[in-house]
Amino acid sequence: MSFNKQELVQSTTFADQKRKTVEVAEFTEDGRYKRKIRSFVLRTGRLSEFQKHAMNQHWHFYGLEHQNQLFDFKSIYANDNPVILEIGFGMGHSLVEMARQNPHFNYLGIEVHTPGVGACIANAVEKDVKNLRVICHDATEILRDCIADHSLAGLQLFFPDPWHKAKHHKRRIVQTHFVEKISQKLAQGGFIHMATDWENYAEHMLTVLQQVKELKNTSITNDYIPRPEFRPLTKFEQRGHRLGHGVWDLYFTKK
């Protein structure tokens, strides 16, 4: 992927405008709307010229924007293949690899970290992956406004921010209202696959998932499953294994 200085000067506007503070809704324990909180400032660091260029040059194909109407997946992907949503894909390496290995599925990734979005697009272009689209926006609003009920084949949430301090647990994405919303968006038989390297968060995830009556745990021990081979091992996870960190996978399906 080559580009000159003039291209860079002319093409930075779109990618740079994605660098913003994201606010999301906070809910009470029983799922009632409370207020909006600053869930995260986009910890972008420096958006590299390579990542900017990937976003600016290929967003027209890979990028989707928040809208106040439902996505038409058949039109977006030009096929009827099942759609799997991943929230918080980081730099996108595992998401691109899963899309490459499974051309019979369509993948939709949501990430607010703009260098990750740029890196994911660049990687998809390099590997000629066509069954992938990405969104740089808050997942709660995308689920609320853009994704039809019963339209997803699955939800992937791998290594979300654990917000490990107890006073910040309310900021964890895995809450009852979130899982209920995901369940509503899943087709019958659809799955929710989560993974974390924080045992406390894994226990919290398990408790929340078990509370949603439409979901069934696929674990034979009714808790966690071994890491499935179809989930690519990330560099982050490989480093954790070397340091002796545990990883917990949860896999529930919609009844």
Task: Please give the positions annotated as active site.
Answer: 161
Across the beta sheet with 83-87, the strand order is: 63-64, 132-135, 106-110, 83-87, 152-158, 186-196, 248-254, 215-217
Q: Is 180 annotated as a binding residue?
A: no
Q: Is 158 annotated as a binding residue?
A: no
Q: What are phi and psi of 66, to 5 degrees?
A: -60, 140
Q: Is 138 annotated as a binding residue?
A: yes
Q: Is 80 annotated as a binding residue?
A: no
Q: Is 254 annotated as a binding residue?
A: no
Tell me the sheet residues that pair with 195: 158, 249
Mutual angle of helices 199-211 and 176-185, in 10-degree steps: 60
Q: Is 234 annotated as a binding residue?
A: yes
Would you report the helix, strand and coil content of the chain in percent, each value rounded to 5?
Answer: 40, 25, 40
Q: Is 229 annotated as a binding residue?
A: no
Q: Is 223 annotated as a binding residue?
A: no
DSSP state of 87: E
Dist. CA 54–CA 60, nearest whole Å: 11
CA terminus-to-terminus distance, the chain: 46
Task: Report the binding-site residues for substrate.
Answer: 165, 197, 234-237
Task: Report the binding-site residues for S-adenosyl-L-methionine.
Answer: 86, 111, 138, 161
Task: Report the binding-site residues.
Answer: 86, 111, 138, 161, 165, 197, 234-237
